[in-house]
């Protein structure tokens, strides 16, 4: 299983763009990268998933360089409600053997 | 997206009692369900993986006789914490996986806060 490394914490201010980078040096060819958001005392919530280049949805963008050894979650114009822990997971998008394992995550605090 | 529910959302029990937590996939059939435990300010720790109709696979260090997992149907898995002690107090989260058009989709429940007095 590809191990992931993220910054433990980040601070930002309302209205700023936040970029959280995740390292996954031993990502496999068939692995996808998935980001989750977790608020205190809640289950993780899916944010975005990608395989290569750039993926964008209504809440975030995911940038993946050509070597796929890292990925960056970009949150545009954060608000106080984006204060949460963000996890990146790496694993195959298909097949029954994948076991989603969480790393330490990045605790994002958005200040007024 | 698909919904995974957990019941109860929080439970307080006395030391030595057993507590059952239910995890249901409400609008899909889950091929696999996972149980996690999360202590304050820590990440989710995988406890076990269960497939419908078969025995759960427990992670190293997780006592299978203490944390009983039953996965009787494709929409329901239960975790029973037997003879609970204060150190079992934690946030328990289940996750259900379904394969849609060949792709895995993973959905998480809202979690259950267990407090053992």
Q: In this predicted model, what pLDDT tens digit does every residue of B91-108 receive, in sequence order? A: 999 999 877 666 677 899
Cβ distance B91 to A100 less than 8 Å, yes or no, reads: no
pLDDT of residue B101: 66
Average pLDDT of chain A to the nearest whole number: 93
Predicted confidence band of residue B29 (pLDDT cuts 50, 70, 90): confident
Note whether A95 contacts B104, CB cutoff 8 Å.
Answer: yes
> What is d(CA B62, CA A70) in angstroms, rounded to the nearest whole number?
31
Reading across the β-sheet that carries A53-56, which strands appear in turn? Answer: A18-23, A70-75, A61-64, A53-56
Model confidence over A76-88: pLDDT tens digits? 999 999 999 999 9
A43 in reach of chain B (CB within 8 A):
yes
| Model confidence band, residue B12 (pLDDT cutoffs 50, 70, 90) | very high
Would you give the distance in Å from CA B20 to the centre of its chain?
Answer: 10
**Chain A residues lying within 8 Å of B1, measured CB to CB:** 46
- Which residue of chain A has the CA closest to B113? A41
What is the rounded (10 degree) CA torsion for B23, B79, B114, B96?
Answer: -30
Which band of pLDDT confidence, cut at 50, 70 and 90, is reported for residue A95?
Answer: low
**Is residue A3 over pLDDT 80?**
yes
User: What percent of chain A has a predicted confidence (pLDDT) above 90?
Assistant: 82
Question: What's the average model confidence in pLDDT over B41-65?
Answer: 92
User: CB burial class (10 A; 0-12, 13-18, 19+) of residue B84?
Assistant: buried
Q: What is the distance between the alpha carbons of residues A86 and A108, in angstroms, rounded to a whole number?
A: 7
Residue that wins the pLDDT comparison between B70 and A95: B70
Mean pLDDT (chain B, rounded): 92
What are residue A79's DSSP bridge partners? none
Of the candidate ranges A5-14, A63-72, B63-72, the one whose mean pLDDT is the lowest: B63-72
Of B32, B43, B104, the CB nearest to A93: B104
Res. A2: pLDDT tops 90: no
A84-A85-A88 Cα angle (round to 5): 135
- Please answer yes or no on whether B46 and A99 come within 8 Å at the CB atom: yes
CA within 13 Å, CB half, A69: 3
Q: Which residues of A touch B43 (CB under 8 A)?
A: 87, 102-105
pLDDT tens digit string along A25-46?
999 998 999 999 999 999 999 9
- In this model, does residue A22 exceed pLDDT 70? yes
The strand pairing partners of B116, in sequence order, are: B13
pLDDT of residue A98: 75
Query: How many angstroms away from the CA of A26 is the closest CA of chain B?
Result: 21
Report the gap between the CA of B102 and the closest CA in chain A (Å): 6
What distance in Å separates residue B3's CA from the closest CA in chain A? 11
> Using an 8 Å Cβ cutoff, are A33 and A55 in contact?
no
| Rounded CA separation A73/A48 (Å) | 9
Q: Does B70 touch chain A (CB under 8 A)?
A: no
Contact yes or no for B106 and A46 at CB 8 A:
yes
């Amino acid at each position: 299983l590809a191990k992931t490394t993220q910054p433990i914490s980040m601070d930002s201010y309302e209205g700023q763009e936040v970029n959280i980078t995740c390292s996954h040096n031993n990502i496999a060819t068939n692995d996808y990268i998935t980001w989750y958001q977790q608020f205190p005392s809640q289950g993780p919530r899916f944010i975005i998933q990608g395989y290569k280049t750039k993926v964008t949805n209504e809440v975030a963008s995911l940038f993946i360089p050509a070597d796929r050894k890292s990925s960056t979650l970009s949150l545009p114009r954060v608000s106080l409600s984006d204060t949460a822990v963000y996890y990146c997971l790496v694993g195959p998008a298909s097949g029954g053997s994948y076991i989603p394992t969480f790393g330490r995550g990045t605790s994002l605090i958005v200040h007024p | 997206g698909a919904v995974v529910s957990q019941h109860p959302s929080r439970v307080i029990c006395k030391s030595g009692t057993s507590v059952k937590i239910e995890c249901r996939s409400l609008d899909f059939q889950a091929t696999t369900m996972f149980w996690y435990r999360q202590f304050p300010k820590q990440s989710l720790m995988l406890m076990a993986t269960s497939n419908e109709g078969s025995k759960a696979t427990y992670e190293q260090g997780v006592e299978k006789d203490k944390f009983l997992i039953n996965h009787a149907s494709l929409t329901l898995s239960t975790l029973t914490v037997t003879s609970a002690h204060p150190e079992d107090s934690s946030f328990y989260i289940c996750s259900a996986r379904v394969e849609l058009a060949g792709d895995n989709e993973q959905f998480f429940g809202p979690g259950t806060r267990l407090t053992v007095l």
